[in-house]
Amino acid sequence: MGTVRFICKSFRMLLKIQFIQLSNFYFVFLAVCFTYLGSYTFIYFLMKKFNTVLDWNLYHVTFVFAVYQISFGITNLIMSQFKYFSDYVHRGTLDILMIRPMSLFLQIIMRGCEFVSLGNIAVGVFLVVMVTKPLEIEWSAIQIFKFMLLIVNSSLFIGGIYLIGATMSIYIINGKEVRDLLVQTLQNYLIYPKEAYERWIQAVLVFSLLYFVTNKPAQWFLGIADSWNAWSVILGLPFFLGIYGIWNFCLKSYTGAGN
């Protein structure tokens, strides 16, 4: 119960802090929308010119992009503090958080929410709405449930990627850049069918599980997946839990042994 109250109070305070700088929030929110819609324009122009990538058209690609934006927005909203994990480790804040009788993971999350990620979510939702008609998506209760599953799965995967970056930050300084690399690859290249790339790249994408972050599950939702349908949506949770375990373990061995 105390944990729940802690979460509620922390969240209320984060909102309070954000409200103090409301104009800053609006500016950044708009900038986020603009920036990511800007990324989308390249996809739009290309698909308008070429019409199809294998058997995907503009709307399929847009849908995958949009789903990714929404999931990324949600993950970044919640787990944004993990982007700065390197600071936590090297400035000693970690020590203070660890000598408290509350989960470290939870404490880090509640130290900051990047509300401007709502911009990503807004862009994603906007694009999903735009492609609903062309893709003939019917928003029945089941479809909505499947969509939620889709989003939650992707968000968990991306959360795992954030934790990978955080874990690497413990040992090297580049955790952030590794995370950026993975996130940008997903955003720019994994929105097309994997067959667009050569076989060996496809193998890498599949084995690294990047393919299952958004691409495959989105196919499942749209009904264009050819194989391994439903279970592709549930990989997010075990992935996240696995990385969480690794993060925990690395943290224990790092602090336990002494730096």
Partner 1 sequence: MSIVVDHLTKIYRVVKQKSIFKPRFEQKVALNNISFQIDQGESVAYIGPNGSGKSTTIKLLTGLLTPTSGKVTVNGLEPYKKRKENARNIGFVFGQRTQLWWDLPITESFDLLKEIYRIPNAVYKRNLEMLFTLLDLQGFKEIPVRQLSLGQRMRAEVACAFLHSPRIVYLDEPTIGIDIVTKAKIRDFLRDINKEEKTTIILTSHDIDDIETVCKRLILIDKGHIVYDGQIVDFIERYAVYKKIRVAFKERDIQPILIPRCEVSRETTKSNELIIRYKKDEIDTNELLNILQNVGTISDFTAHDDNLTDLLKSIYKEEI
Partner 2 sequence: MGGITYVYKMIRISLLSHLALRSSYYLGLFRECLFLLLSIQLFRTLYSGTGTVLSATLTETVTYIIISKFAQFFNMSTMGRIQSRIISGEIATDLLRPVEYDFFMLVQEFGAWIQRILSITFPIVLLSLLFVRFYPPSSISYGLCFVLSLLLSFLIMFFANYCVSLAAFWIPYLWSLNSVSTTLFIILSGAMIPLWFYPDGIRNVLEWLPFSFAVYMPINIYLGRIAMAELPILFLKQAVWILILWLISRFIWSKATKKIIVNGG
Q: Which residues sit at the interface with partner 1, rule CB under 8 A?
A: 2-3, 5-6, 9-10, 13, 16-17, 20, 91-93, 95-96, 98-102, 107, 111, 255-258
Closer to partner 1 at the Cβ: 57 or 93? Answer: 93
Among 13, 19, 52, 139, the residue binding partner 2 under the rule CB under 8 A is 52
Distance CA 216, CA 214 (A): 6
Smallest gap from Cβ 244 to partner 1, in A, equals 17
Task: Name residues contacting partner 2, limited to 181-220 (CB under 8 A).
Answer: 181, 184-185, 188-189, 192, 195-198, 201
Alpha-carbon distance 150 to 221, whole Å? Answer: 8
Is 84 one of the binding residues for partner 2 (CB under 8 A)? no
101 binds, among partner 2, partner 1, none (CB under 5 to 8 A by kind): partner 1
Residues 6-35 that bind partner 2 (CB under 8 A): 24, 27-28, 30-32, 34-35
How far are the Cα atoms of 79, 85, 174 from residue 125, in angstroms, in the given order?
A: 20, 30, 32
Give the pair of three-digit tokens for residue 15: 């909102």
Report the alpha-carbon distance of residue 120 to residue 122 in Å, rounded.
5
Alpha carbon 258 to chain centroid, angstroms: 32
Pick between residue 2 and residue 200 the one whose CB is nearest to partner 2.
200
Radius of gyration of the chain (CA): 19
| Token code pair at residue 110 | 């509640």
Q: Which member of 102, 134, 145, 177 binds partner 2 (CB under 8 A)? A: 177
177 binds, among partner 1, partner 2, none (CB under 5 to 8 A by kind): partner 2
From residue 170, how far is each of 107, 129, 224 by CA, in Å? 18, 41, 41
Which stretches within the chain are classed as H helix?
A: 2-20, 22-50, 58-79, 85-90, 93-98, 104-109, 118-135, 141-171, 175-188, 199-207, 215-222, 236-257
If the CB atoms of residues 32 and 122 are measured against partner 2, the closer one turns out to be 32
253 near partner 2, judged by CB under 8 A: no
User: Considering CB distances under 5 to 8 angstroms, the limit depending on partner class, which of partner 2, partner 1, none binds residue 9?
Assistant: partner 1
- Specify the residue for token string 């691409």: 215
Residue type, 39: S
Listed residue (54, 62, 59, 42) closest to 196, CA to CA: 54
Taking CB under 8 A as the rule, does residue 53 contact partner 2? yes
220, 232 Cβ separation under 8 angstroms: yes
Least separation, in Å, of the C-beta of 90 and partner 2?
Answer: 6
Residues forming contacts to partner 2 in the complex (CB under 8 A) are 24, 27-28, 30-32, 34-35, 38-39, 41-42, 45-46, 48-54, 90, 172-174, 177-178, 181, 184-185, 188-189, 192, 195-198, 201, 259
